[in-house]
């Protein structure tokens, strides 16, 4: 059964919407609480952690994500008392940090229980414009293609480089890498567009509808 056919089942759609709504509800609740409401914030934190535990997210993955997220929020929260010479703003910083942490965990649970392709199909059913969904789908496919391209360019540069490099050289190399990526990706986009035109592309994606096995008729595009 294809993803699209599986997704035509109402149960999957309602489940995805419920997951989105649950995550949003936790974020909304967390953002309405201040640092002084720590029991309620703690309850929401426990709820988000319980959700992550039930979803089967590996502890190492959770730790890795938290390690990436924590410095950013710590920097942002600490900038509030830092701007006041550390004489005030601590309560505000604690509120920002607690809200952000609970919301981050709720968001992490959402992306763990709702795969990206299912998210796109849910948004499509929620009447988000087709051009946005199709472009997102196209982008999602090409992120991995371009990442592979980046690795190839980087490997080729390393193979041609000898000796130590200073920071200026690294900046030059990184700028050159992205500029090369710009040229190659836009050329690739142009080639893909022409290939799409050759296959009858008129600006709209078409999805094949699920046809029961007993139906002897041909499969028609919707």
Partner 1 sequence: MHIPDGFLSTPVCLATGAISIAAVGYSVYRLKHSLADRTIPLAGMVSALVFTGQMVNFPVLMGTSGHLVGGVLAARLVGPWAGCLSLTLVLFVQRFLFADGGLLALGANVFHMAVVGAMGGYAIQAVVTRLLGRTTRASVIGTVVASWITVMLAAFLCCLEFALSRDSLRGFDLGRFLVLMILFHAFIGIGESLISGGIIRMVSFRRPDLLYQSEPSRVTRPGFPTAQGLLIALLVTICLAPLASSLPDGLDSAIQQSVSVRPEVDSPSLFGSYEGIFGETTWHVWSVILSGLIGTLVVFAIAVILGRPYSGSDDTTPGDPSD
Going by C-alpha positions, the residue among 139, 118, 140, 120 that lies closest to residue 130 is 120
Q: Angle at CA 87, nearest 5°, toward 83 and 91?
A: 85
Give least dist CB 117 to partner 1, A.
11
139 is written with which tokens?
A: 């982008």
Question: CB of 44 within 8 A of CB of 103?
Answer: no
Rule CB under 8 A: choose which of 14, 152, 193, 206 binds partner 1. Answer: 193
> Is there a contact between 16 and 118 (Cβ–Cβ < 8 Å)?
yes
Q: How many residues bind partner 1 (CB under 8 A)?
A: 80
Site for partner 1 (CB under 8 A): which residue of 65, 113, 121, 124? 65
Residues 95-154 that bind partner 1 (CB under 8 A): 95-100, 102-104, 106-108, 110-111, 116, 119, 129, 131-132, 134-140, 142-143, 145-147, 149-150
Q: Which is nearer to partner 1, 47 or 96 (CB)?
A: 96
Which residues between 71 and 100 bind partner 1 (CB under 8 A)?
Answer: 72-73, 75-76, 79-80, 82-85, 88-89, 92, 95-100
> CA 208, 213, 216: angle at the middle one, nearest 5?
85
- Is residue 174 close enough to count as binding partner 1 by CB under 8 A? yes
Closer to partner 1 by CB, 142 or 210: give it: 142
Euclidean distance between CA atoms 145 and 181, whole angstroms: 11
**Least distance from partner 1 to the Cβ atom of residue 29, Å:** 10
Decide if residue 38 touches partner 1 (CB under 8 A). no
The CA distance from 140 to 89, in Å, is 41
Instruction: Find where tokens 């640092």 sit.
Output: 35
Please list every residue from 17 through 36 that binds partner 1, using CB under 8 A: 23-24, 27-28, 30-32
Q: How far is the CB of 13 from partner 1 (least distance, A)?
A: 17
Biggest CA–CA distance in the chain, Å, is 77
């Amino acid at each position: 059964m294809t993803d699209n056919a599986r997704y035509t089942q109402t149960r999957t759609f309602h489940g995805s919407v419920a997951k989105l709504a649950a995550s949003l509800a936790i974020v909304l609740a967390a953002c309405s609480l201040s640092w002084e409401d720590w029991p309620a914030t703690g309850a929401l934190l426990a709820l988000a952690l319980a959700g992550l535990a039930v979803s089967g997210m590996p502890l190492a993955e959770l730790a890795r994500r938290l390690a990436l997220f924590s410095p950013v929020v710590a920097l942002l929260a600490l900038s509030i008392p830092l701007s006041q010479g550390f004489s005030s703003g601590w309560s505000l910083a604690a509120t920002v940090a607690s809200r952000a942490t609970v919301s981050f965990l709720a968001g992490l649970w959402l992306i763990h229980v709702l795969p990206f392709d299912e998210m796109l199909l849910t948004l499509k059913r929620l009447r988000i414009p087709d051009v946005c969904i199709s472009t997102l789908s196209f982008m999602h496919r090409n992120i991995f293609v371009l990442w592979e391209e980046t690795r190839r360019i980087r490997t080729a540069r390393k193979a041609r480089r000898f000796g130590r490099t200073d920071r200026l050289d690294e900046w030059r190399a990184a700028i050159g890498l992205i500029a090369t990526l710009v040229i190659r990706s836009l050329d690739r986009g142009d080639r893909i567009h022409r290939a799409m035109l050759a296959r009858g592309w008129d600006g709209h994606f078409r999805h094949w509808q699920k046809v029961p096995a007993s139906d002897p008729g041909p499969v028609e595009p919707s």
